[in-house]
Amino acid sequence: MNFTSPCPTTPIFATLINTLLTSQCLLSPVDLFPSDYGPKLQDGDQFDFIVVGGGTAGSVVASRLSENRNWKVLLLEAGGYPSAESEIPMMCVAAVKGAEDWGYDSEPSPGVENRTMCCPRGKALGGSGAINGMIYLHGNREDFDSWEEEGWDYDSVVEYYRRFEDLRGVEDERFGKGGELKVIWEKSLQPLRQVLIDSFEELGFGKFTEENGIGHTYAYNNIWEGRRFSTAKAFLSTAEPRKNLHLALHSHVEKLLVDESLKVTGVKVRINGKLLKITSKGEVVLSAGAVNSPQILMNSGIGPREHLERVGIRAVKNLKVGRNLQDHLAFTGLAYNVAESALLPKNRGDVIDELYQYFMHRSGPLSKSPAESLILFANTKRQPNRPSLEVYHIIIYKDDIYGALPFLKIAWNLPEGAVQQLKASSQKSHVILLVPALTYPASTGEVLLDGSDPFGPPKIFTNHLGDEDDVQTLLDGIRLCQNLTRTAAFSAQAP
């Protein structure tokens, strides 16, 4: 296996992971999923339903549809099975720009001095759920209720969440038990967690409730028995015995097939270098994500007429496809040194012990998400029940013993000068990054085609900070974090 990474501890990780794979100590998730039907597909094959994208939503939809044994269901995924590395929760930091990431970058945004941003998108079974930080929360009640569609209000939708959830480790009536998707809570022993909670409460923030939407809360994780637990694993593993569900991997959909009555009748897909037309007797479900779904629609002639004609595609339906792209921009420049007592003691030798813990017992730090699950939802706009900001934190241990900085540089597109400053700070003591992020950005961008190559990367215009309202809200978030560091609880952690 070829495993590359900028992390200083990578040789250790790579050696042990390769050893495990060779000795079959680490089971591949491939065994859990349906076999790859892609090589068997023929031009003109027909199914009752075709689901495009085996990600967070597509895996669920395909599984649920196949519960009707009379329906023949095809699930198309552009990537492959999730890798063994992606199973290790702590290793999610290495996923950005890796083999299971589409590797997209945004176009330059004037609002952020024409900088580009990394746009991670999962390219594997499980979609972005195969590479993300495994944080799990319900959406904001106000969002669901504002849809104003019968049956889609929060109280209606949350019942479906509860049906597929299986919460472990804590009692929480908001979440379900006994469903397919493992959701866990693990009590953190880090002293810093309580320091931050005390700091939040000094500023007047209480515990988060779904009724008020504001306050501090612990998020849950999609991890089970020390491994990532995506919706693909949750729903496709249970569907694996069904003969009516067919999974085709490395199947890159070019476009939808649209007849003269504007009905979608199937897809055109590239598999093993061949272009096939696969048809559907029922429906085609497009669930390829916020970037790839609009790309497929526009390749099909469904989108802004002017743009489609400019790239040589005949428009069959003039719609604002690709518009209203919203990205939750975060400010990553608030770094503070904290006393060594703020975190559990660590040294470089511990990393080896932690590797042993994980590979032998699926426990220890590698079995947990590196994304700190304590979150503050704050409102600076006086809107009831809807936060304007989310504040989370990132830990860089003294001397960066976990090699976090190279990954943060890639994921956040940090200038080399900022990386060197963080490195210098981490040589003094532990560093905490307080990160305010926009929850409801007023700035909207768009996804456009880059020429007429249907398989080329699209152009992603995030338009970060294009609206002055976002600038002011993010400044509010920066001031909030600065005030947080002035509280008695936080000040006591000065090194």
Annotated binding site for FAD: 253
Pair of tokens at residue 319: 């719609």
Contact 390, 439 (CB under 8 A): yes
**How many angstroms separate the CA atoms of 243 and 194, rounded?**
51
Cβ within 8 Å of residue 467, ≥6 positions away: 441, 442, 443
Contact 379, 326 (CB under 8 A): no
Q: How many residues does the chain have?
A: 495
Give the CA-trace dihedral at 285, 136, 223, 152, to 10 degrees. Answer: -40
Contact 364, 223 (CB under 8 A): no
Half-sphere exposure for 156 (CA within 13 Å, toward CB): 10
Cβ within 8 Å of residue 149, ≥6 positions away: none
Orientation of helix 404-412 relative to helix 416-426, angle to 10°: 150
**How many angstroms separate the CA atoms of 391 and 476, rounded?**
11
Cβ within 8 Å of residue 297, ≥6 positions away: 256, 286, 303, 319, 321, 322
Contact 403, 7 (CB under 8 A): yes
Contact 234, 181 (CB under 8 A): yes
**How many angstroms separate the CA atoms of 230 and 8, rounded?**
28
Farthest-apart Cα atoms in the chain, separation: 70
Contact 242, 66 (CB under 8 A): yes
Contact 224, 48 (CB under 8 A): no
Q: Which residues are annotated as a binding site?
A: 253
DSSP structure class, residue 236:
I
Strand 274-286 to strand 459-461: parallel, antiparallel, or no bridges (unpaired)? unpaired
Strands in 287-358 per DSSP E: 302-303, 317-318, 335-338
**How many angstroms separate the CA atoms of 95 and 121, rounded?**
10
Q: Helix or strand or coil: residue 335?
A: strand
Contact 100, 130 (CB under 8 A): yes
